[in-house]
Structures are given as structure tokens and as C-alpha cells.
Amino acid sequence: MARPKQFDPDVALDAAVALFREHGYAGTSAEMLTASMGIGKQSLYNTYGGKWPLYCAALRRYADDETGEHLRELKAGKTGLDGLERMFKRVAATAHRPCLGVSSVQEFGTDSEGSPELIEIRAPAGQALQAALLERVRAAQADGELSATLDPRQAVSFLLAQIAALRLAARGGAGEAELRALARLALRALK
């Protein structure tokens, strides 16, 4: 008969997310994971299947949570531009925390042959965020808040690049005031 788990798998997964955010997949050892998660090595394998499946689960959790937060801010705005501003304020305020999504792309790329599991995890989150951004950009254009001559899809690509740039700037030492200014500049570029 199997022994009952002596830990909360969700809490342990959150600890793994934090480690992978900070150190990436290659920089995170099984020993680091078990220490941070408060579990033994056997529990890591029995519960999560090993380091790679744990990384995939952590990325899925992170993608769901982070995308959910972005979508909440976008939808909370009274206008299209207000939603974009709210989301960018959030990104600037949290940019000092490493982004598992950006580091996953940096570490593994987007080649489906190299990391098909990661593509399957990142794609739905990316598509949901792109669709919400596109809707807000089009709404802002319809309200005259953003330039009507702007290609909405290119604007979305630009905004996604700016999110990654804000996170990288924070990792490079940019302070909160600078990050807020960069976020404002990103949106001003669309006007």
C-alpha cells in the first residue's frame, strides 16, 4: 500500500516554479528542487515523474497564472487603451521577478523538434494573450486612442516584444521608475 503524501503537491510545484524562474532548467539541479520543495528525491520522481516533467508542469502553471493576470488587467480597463495601460503597469511592477516564459524560449527556443512539450504548453497561453491584446488594440483604434493607420497584428507583436524587453531590462538592473517609463513609451509608440 502506498504511503500518503507528506507534502502539498501544489505548494511544492509553486516552489519549483520559483526555482525554474530564477535559474532556468539547466541551472536548477534535482538537489535544489528537493530542498526548495521540501520533498525527497523519490517523491520528486513518484509525484512529478522527474525533473523534465516537473519543469513542464511548472511552465504550465506559470503560463496559466501569468497569462491569467495579463488577461484580467486587459479586461479590467474601461477602454482598450486603459486595459493596455493596466497590463503594462502590472508588467513593469513585476518585471523584477524572472519570467519563466521568456527564459523557456531563451533556453529551448521555439523549434517544435527540440521541445514539442514546451510548444504545446506555451502555444495556448500565447494565443490567448495575443487575441486579448488584438481585441484591446482594435478597441483603442475604434475609440481614437491609438492610430487608425497602425496594423493591429504588428502592434500586438510589438507589445509582446516590449513585455519581454521590460523583463530583460529589469534583470539588467533597471529600477521601477525606469520600467514604468519604458512601459509608457511602449504604448506611446502606438499613438
- Look at 69 and 112; give whichever has higher pLDDT: 69
Is the pLDDT assigned to residue 178 strictly greater than 60?
A: yes
**pLDDT (0 to 100) of residue 151:** 97
**pTM of the predicted structure, to 2 decimals:** 0.89
How far is 134 from 43, CA to CA, in rounded Å?
43
Summarize the confidence of residues 143-164 as an average pLDDT: 96
How far is 41 from 33, CA to CA, in rounded Å?
9
Give me the CATH topology for the region 60-188. Answer: Tetracycline Repressor; domain 2 (1.10.357)
**pLDDT (0 to 100) of residue 115:** 81
How far is 140 from 155, CA to CA, in rounded Å?
12
Angle at alpha carbon of residue 179, lines to 178 and 184, rounded to 5°: 95
Calculate the average pLDDT of the chain.
93
**For helices 100-108 and 9-23, angle between their N-to-C axes, nearest 10 degrees:** 60
> What are the grid coordinates assigned to 124, written together?
495556448
